[in-house]
Structure 1
Amino acid sequence: MSRLEPLRTSLLLCACGAAMLSGCAVSNPFATAAVDPASPIAAEVAAKARASRAYPTFADIPPVPADVRPLPAFGRAAAELEVAGVELTRETAPGTWTLTGTEAFAGRARDIAGPEITGPDSTTAATEAFAKAQRARATPPPPPR
């Protein structure tokens, strides 16, 4: 690689950039755009183009509301969120927790749920009989028109 090659590359890039930018600066394609006079909106386009409008100024920008937190607070909140995410990933990594004491957990759940249902209503036959009775009571929807 010669010492002049980076210089040639830089000059080529500058020349290409200048050529592209000069095409943008030559003319505004929208300034000379003509509207077909036979178009149904030609009169409206001409009226809108000639209309004088008041454009907003920087003074029209409303002030920042007082109840919005300052910009540095957004950065601090984002940093806190990143720290919380790293901590959560660390705490839930494989091998950091085990399923122990499940019998005690299941026992508490059974106590909260109440006693098991026993008797004739707890069988599959009773469930099927109930479902069959409900199907017999059900009214089918009306036929489509």
Structure 2
Amino acid sequence: MNAPLRLFACSSLGASARGVLGCVAVAVLAAGCAGNPFAEAKVDANSAVADDVARMAHESRSFPTFDQIPASPPSSRPVAAWGQAADQLEVAAAKVERNTAPNTWTLSGTERFVTRARSQAGPDIGVEASTTPSSEAFAKELRERATPPPPPR
């Protein structure tokens, strides 16, 4: 492959192309500022809320100022206590991660758990219970009634 390098060279935009691209970008940005879509929006006169929208749009309201915001109640937690609670939470999380890390625990002393679970499950069902003549007869009947699927075409 002896292709000429000019086929793979990256050519940058010329000055005129950059100027055109800049003008287009400025025109698009300026077009976005033309007009207020909310002022020009019309409300359907048949709508159930048309009267309320018209009334509220032209109604002048007084908005609260920052000095009208009530003070914090005295029973609220101080800022330093929030940080201390966050620190305690991080310490507890680190302790849980440390105690549950891989190779930090083993399963031992499970005999008591096994005996309790078996006593709650009921009487021990051995292998001989599943080989009774009635279950074998039932299985034989099901095998005889079963029909194989049709052969593929």
TM-score range relative to shorter protein: 0.3 to 0.5
The alignment's TM-score, normalised by the length of structure 1, stands at: 0.46
The alignment's TM-score, normalised by the length of structure 2, stands at: 0.44
Larger radius of gyration: 2
